[in-house]
Amino acid sequence: MPGPAPGTGPAPSVIGMTKIDSRPPAGTVPPGDGARPGGAMTSAVTFTGVVKNFGTVRAVDGLDLRLSPGRTVALLGPNGAGKSTAISILLGLIPPDEGAVEVLGRKPERAVRDGLVGAMPQSGRLIPGVTVKELVGFVRRSYAAAVPDVALPSLAELLETARITDLEGRRADRLSGGQAQRVRFAMAVAGAPELIVLDEPTTGMDIESRRELWTSIRAYAESGSTVLFSTHYLEEADDHADRIVVVDRGRVIADGTSEQIKQRVPGRTVSFDLPTVHETDSRVSYESASTAGVALDMLPGVVSSEIRGTRVRLHTTDSDLTVLALAESGRIRNLEVTGAGLEEAFLTLTGNGENR
């Protein structure tokens, strides 16, 4: 999780603290005094015209964003797009230079102090010398004392939610990367936050560890909490997000469901197998895959083609015309027509010269 900009002073504590002090060292930032007032919120998070500069670099450039409660939202963008800065502003770690931010009806710092927000950074060393059970228990007790009128999950429920019951007796500083991330998740939800923010939660984790962590995240989201996560694993956004927000150069350039984001990329892909030498007839007379590529690029609608072995991928602006032309030439074998994937859409959106 990014810290404050130089000269802005120390940031509120988040997960990964290396010492115990009077503040919760948990995945949530520290709560304030008193119970949280009730009342329905029309927006979990609102950014209005937010700008943040670091010297001559504008990290966030007039960001407008509104997140509805109870949704799981993925924040995507290339390196340097402003994602981490936006998350830091949301958590009250750094102030915006311009614009306004509201989190669950409050200023970010107040929402954090009231224990409404849980945060899980990419990394950070867990407190040494204590067990997983002791660490998570300490965090939970800190919240129970700070917000006594809020019903918090029991310690056993926290361990079960994060799938770390079998690790409760292990030293927190002697866990694998995936195990440590699950402990950080338990710490992040110990105060029963209404909003949880996950910054690259599965970076460096193996496939099984990623699957287990996402099982925990989904279970928490199903309780009605709002989840905002950033990731470079686009399949995670595709699989788990209700909504995807793509940011580039500090601005939102695309916003919608995964299918809506994919539809932003024009054209479709037509794939089929080339016939082998023994399967050719008078209508199909390729001398080689390379000469086939020249002919394929001339088919109606085709803007580019790829040939890998005997498999052909045609990128076309009119898949109907392309398929009809293939059918007339007798080149139909294992035909497949697909739209753009999320990765292709992401690269197209963020690679456009107008956005970069």
CATH class of the structural domain 268-339: alpha beta
Q: What is the DSSP letter of 171?
A: B
pLDDT at 274: 82
pLDDT at 28: 41
Tens digit of each residue's pLDDT (9 = 90 or more) over 291-347: 455 578 889 999 888 888 888 989 888 999 999 998 887 767 899 998 888 988 898
Predicted TM-score (pTM) of this structure: 0.75
pLDDT at 146: 84
CA distance 31 to 19: 18
Work out the mean pLDDT of the chain and round it to a whole number.
83
- Checking if the pLDDT of 288 tops 50, the result is no
- Checking if the pLDDT of 27 tops 70, the result is no
- Checking if the pLDDT of 9 tops 50, the result is no
56's tokens: 């001559």
> Range(s) for CATH 3.30.70.100 in the chain?
268-339
Bigger pLDDT: 45 vs 339: 45
Pick the CATH number of 45-262 from 3.90.420.10, 3.40.50.300, 3.40.640.10, 3.40.1710.10: 3.40.50.300
User: In angstroms, how far is CA 63 from the centroid of its own chain?
Assistant: 18
pLDDT at 292: 52
Mean pLDDT, residues 186-202 taken together:
94
Tens digit of each residue's pLDDT (9 = 90 or more) over 111-167: 998 999 999 987 778 999 999 999 999 999 999 988 888 899 999 999 999 999 999
Bigger pLDDT: 293 vs 201: 201
> Range(s) for CATH 3.40.50.300 in the chain?
45-262
pLDDT at 276: 64
pLDDT at 40: 52
Most confident by average pLDDT, 33-42, 172-181, 305-314: 172-181
pLDDT at 278: 52
Bigger pLDDT: 254 vs 278: 254
Q: Cα–Cα distances in Å, from 44 out to 13, 211, 223, 288, 313?
A: 22, 27, 15, 58, 43
Mean pLDDT, residues 254-283 taken together:
78
Mean pLDDT, residues 161-180 taken together:
94
pLDDT at 343: 87
